[in-house]
């Protein structure tokens, strides 16, 4: 009977060598520990890990996108709203992301929720609805400052939805309507003011030239004369008669 015992050792050695080699993709890094102590960051490519002595933890360097669950927020003007957002971040220091925090994904998610409530609670409802870009930057900066110790870079935060109560929606609609009416009245008043200023300037010019005033009077009569459906009686101003008599007198002398 053929004895295969002599092949056991070489096969075990071959399996041990095969398990020692790891391949890391371009976007991956390996955090290598030697006898429980941090040794170095390796990758990408083919690396060797000594079984039983070294252990490796893979870290993905690609940008991670996750949704922040809807959060109940009380605005500065005491309005209750539900807000959710999306956060973009990536690992920039693989060693810190493993050594400084137990689970950087969960830690960043929880921190994003609390930061969202804290930042938005400092603003009024109108600011949440009209100044989202500013609020996005505020949340991103606050998150990035706190995750820097974990080797995490928060690149962007986007508020997705701001849900408010139906009664508050109606109140906002009434407020917007009142604001439009206010602006319409202001525009109308400004138009009346400009028109009165122009009329005053025209009256001053006509007052300095009586002949121009009479000419304007005749233009008004000519404009009304085209309508024959009504009889219109105009008082004849005395200075107009004096002007006609003066012109007739000049014509007789000539």
76-106 pLDDT per residue, tens: 888 888 999 999 999 999 999 999 999 999 9
Q: SS3 for 45?
A: strand
**pLDDT for 230 beyond 90:** no
Going by pLDDT thresholds of 50, 70 and 90, the confidence category of residue 241 is low
Considering only residues 241 and 120, tell me which one the structure prediction assigns the higher pLDDT: 120
Directed axis angle between helix 238-253 and helix 210-225, to 10°?
110
Residue 219 token pair? 């233009």
Map out the domains of the chain with their CATH numbers: 14-59 (no CATH), 64-164 (3.30.479.30)
Query: Which pLDDT does position 94 carry in this prediction?
Result: 95
Predicted pLDDT of residue 1: 45
Q: Please give the residue that has the higher pLDDT: either 29 or 51.
A: 29
182: pLDDT confidence band, cut at 50, 70 and 90? confident
Q: Would the pLDDT of 208 be above 80?
A: no
Q: What mean pLDDT do residues 176-183 have?
A: 78
With 90 as the cut, is the pLDDT of residue 252 above it?
A: no
Of 65-69, 80-84, 195-199, 240-244, minimum mean pLDDT range: 240-244
Give the mean pLDDT of 172-188. Answer: 78
Which of 111, 152, 113, 160 minimizes the C-alpha distance to 136? 160
Residue pair 30/24 in contact (Cβ under 8 Å)? The answer is: yes
Residue at token pair 């398990």 = 19
State whether residue 228 is helix, strand or coil: coil
Highest mean predicted confidence (pLDDT) among 59-73, 166-180, 201-215: 59-73
3-state helix, strand, coil split of the chain in percent (to 5) is 55, 25, 20
Confidence (pLDDT) at 190: 87
Percent of the chain topping pLDDT 70: 70
Q: Is the peptide bond before 221 cis (omega within 30 degrees of 0)?
A: no
How do residues 109-136 score in pLDDT, each as one tens digit? 999 999 999 999 899 888 888 889 999 9
Question: What is the rounded average pLDDT of the residues 186-215?
Answer: 75
User: What 3-state DSSP class applies to 209?
Assistant: coil
Which has more confidence, 47 or 224?
A: 47
User: How much is the pLDDT for 181?
Assistant: 82
Identify the burial level of 149 via C-beta atoms within 10 angstroms of its C-beta, where 0-12 means exposed, 13-18 middle and 19 or more buried: exposed
Does residue 176 have a pLDDT over 60? yes
Q: What span, in angstroms and rounded, lies between the C-alpha atoms of 209 and 215?
A: 10
Task: Let me know if 185 is exposed, middle or buried by CB neighbors in 10 A (0-12, 13-18, 19+).
Answer: exposed
* 104: Cβ contacts below 8 Å, ≥ 6 apart: 91, 97, 98, 150, 151, 152
Of residues 93 and 226, more confidently modeled: 93
Phi then psi for 101, rounded to 5 degrees?
-145, 145
Q: So what's the pLDDT on residue 40?
A: 92
């Amino acid at each position: 009977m053929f004895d295969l015992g002599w092949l056991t050792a070489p096969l075990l050695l071959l399996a041990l060598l095969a398990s020692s080699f790891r391949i890391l993709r371009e976007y991956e890094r390996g955090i290598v520990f030697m006898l429980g102590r941090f040794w170095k960051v390796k990758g990408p490519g083919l690396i060797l890990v000594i079984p039983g002595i070294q252990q490796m933890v893979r870290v993905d360097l690609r940008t991670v996108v996750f949704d922040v669950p809807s959060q109940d927020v009380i605005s500065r003007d005491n309005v209750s709203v539900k807000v959710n957002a999306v956060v973009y971040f990536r690992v920039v220091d693989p060693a810190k992301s493993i050594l400084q925090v137990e689970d950087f994904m969960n830690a960043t998610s929880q921190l994003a929720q609390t930061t969202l409530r804290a930042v938005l609670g400092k603003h009024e409802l109108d600011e949440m609805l009209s100044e989202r870009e500013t609020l996005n930057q505020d949340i991103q900066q606050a998150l990035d400052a706190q995750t820097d110790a974990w080797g995490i870079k928060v690149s962007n935060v986007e508020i997705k939805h701001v849900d408010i109560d139906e009664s508050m929606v109606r109140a906002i609609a009434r407020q917007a309507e009142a604001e439009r009416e206010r602006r319409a009245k202001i525009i109308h008043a400004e138009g009346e003011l400009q028109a009165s200023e122009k009329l005053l300037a025209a009256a001053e010019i006509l007052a300095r030239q009586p002949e121009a005033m009479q000419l304007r009077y005749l233009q008004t009569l000519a404009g009304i004369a085209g309508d024959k459906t009504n009889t219109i009686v105009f008082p004849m101003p005395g200075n107009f008669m004096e002007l006609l008599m003066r012109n007739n007198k000049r014509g007789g002398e000539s």
